[in-house]
Structure 1
Amino acid sequence: MMLLPCDYCDSKTAVIFCHVDSAKLCISCDQHVHSVNALSLKHVRSHICDNCRNEPVAVRCATDNLVLCNVCDSNAHNSSSVASFLHARHRLHGFSGCPPPSKSPPF
């Protein structure tokens, strides 16, 4: 699967989706862009789906240790009634603020 380049630097892999800017960013660009001022610190962001690598996450499947967008979660867990009931999943919400560059986004 092709990894998406960061919309800001176009050289590193995007792992964060900024809902306000509709931008996919690498960790260092996310930190740079969202530490500029108090308003940008309020932007709600999410990790990008571990499966499709294109959409913001909505669910964490602890059983598979994956964060998934709604479509990928539905494809993985609704196609099998066993996975739907046995996998430990919970909804994820976006985050704001700015973690230090060495930290991963919270889930």
Structure 2
Amino acid sequence: MKKCDLCDSAAQVHCDSDQASLCWDCDVKVHGANFLVAKHSRTLLCHVCQSPTPWIGSGLKLCPTVSVCESCVNNNEGNHHEDDDDEEGQDGAEEDEENQVVPWSCKPPPPVSSTSSSSREERLSESVNISRSTARREPR
């Protein structure tokens, strides 16, 4: 099992720029340090064998994600039979190309404003009118 280069926990990602395998916590510490290191592309390691997977991400904080490399998927295909629609004659390889896993964003969506757009427009209009009236006054 690959260990994190910083804390000896199980490694989850590999950063080629830093030549380091890191756990989630250490990845946040290293790549959250500034915007330059946040740009480093990191490869998610296989959950089973810890070899690199096709999943690549960058940013200040990657969402903890589980991925499996192609060889582990291929080795596991013979062991498990899923209830697919294969009896309908669909080509599974073509379907796999169309289905890709995309991790969810770690950031929660921005809060919904309870202010209606009409009241914002009214406040903006009042603000413009006030600034126009003060601009027309001449100093004494």
Given the two structures, how large is their TM-score scaled by the length of structure 1? Answer: 0.55
**Corresponding residue of 2:2:** 4
What are the ranges of 5 or more consecutive residues in structure 2 without an aligned counterpart? Answer: 56-65, 83-90, 108-140
Give the structure with the larger helix fraction.
Answer: 2
- Could you tell me which runs of 5 or more consecutive residues in structure 1 were left unpaired when the two chains were aligned: 60-65, 94-98, 101-107
The aligned residue for residue 138 of structure 2 is none
The one-letter code sitting in structure 2 at the alignment partner of 1:8 is L
Aligned runs of 1:9-20 on 2, under 5 Å? Answer: 9=7, 11-20=8-17
Provide runs of 4+ in structure 1 moved above 4 Å: 88-93
Higher gyration radius (CA): 2
For CA contacts below 8 A with separation 6 or more, give which structure has more relative contact order: 1
Name the SS for the 1:72 alignment partner: helix
2:92 to 85, 91, 94: 85
- 1:19 is displaced (CA, Å) by 2.9
Q: Equivalents in 1 of 2:27, 2:17: separation in Å?
A: 13
Question: 1:57 is matched with which residue?
Answer: 53
SS in 2 for 1:28: helix
| Offset at residue 92 of structure 1 (A) | 6.1
Cα separation, 1, equivalents of 2:42 and 2:92: 29
Alpha-carbon distance in 1 for matches of 2:20, 2:70: 18
Distance 1:91 1:45 in 2: 18
